[in-house]
């Protein structure tokens, strides 16, 4: 099984949420840590797509497709925040 990260599902997240999501900060409901969605640990073959917290490995997000309908479970997040525009400078 291969573990990748949230960068690999940028397209899928964009499709589900309607915008760029990998720089969004998600707060884990289990451990309370916050991180960019790009940093989630992701399995593409789970079945469906399963994304876990990089710190505590609890499940944050599950996306499965059934008969052409996407089912999205976000219950692992305590919050999803769109931060200020991603700084490209040191300290960002």
Partner 1 sequence: MAGTALRGRLNWRLGTVVGLEYESPAAKSITLDLPDWRGHRAGQHVDVRLTAADGYQAQRSYSIASAPEDARVMLTVERLDDGEVSPYLVDDLRIGDELEVRGPVGGYFVWDAGSPGPVLLIAGGSGVVPFRSMLRHRVAAQSTVPVRLLYSARSQRTLIYRDELTRMAGRNAIDIRITLTREEAQDWRGYRGRITRGFLDRTGWPASDGPLVYVCGPTGFVETAADALVSLGHEPSNIRTERFGGAET
For residues 71 to 90, the per-residue mask of contacts with partner 1, x marking binding by CB under 8 A and - elsewhere, is --------------xx-xxx
Nearer to partner 1, 72 or 75 (CB): 72
Rounded least distance, CB 64 to partner 1, Å:
14
Please tell me whether residue 68 binds partner 1 under the rule CB under 8 A: no
Rounded least distance, CB 21 to partner 1, Å:
8
> Quick one: which of 26, 67, 31, 79 has its CA closest to 42?
26
């Amino acid at each position: 099984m291969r573990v990748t990260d949230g960068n690999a599902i940028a397209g899928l997240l964009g499709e589900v949420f309607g915008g760029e999501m990998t720089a969004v900060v998600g707060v884990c409901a289990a451990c309370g840590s916050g991180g960019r969605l790009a940093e989630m640990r992701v399995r593409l073959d789970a079945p469906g797509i399963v994304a876990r917290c990089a710190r505590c490995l609890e499940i944050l997000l599950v996306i499965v497709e059934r008969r052409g309908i996407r089912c999205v479970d976000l219950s692992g997040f305590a919050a999803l925040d769109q931060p200020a525009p991603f700084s490209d400078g040191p300290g960002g």
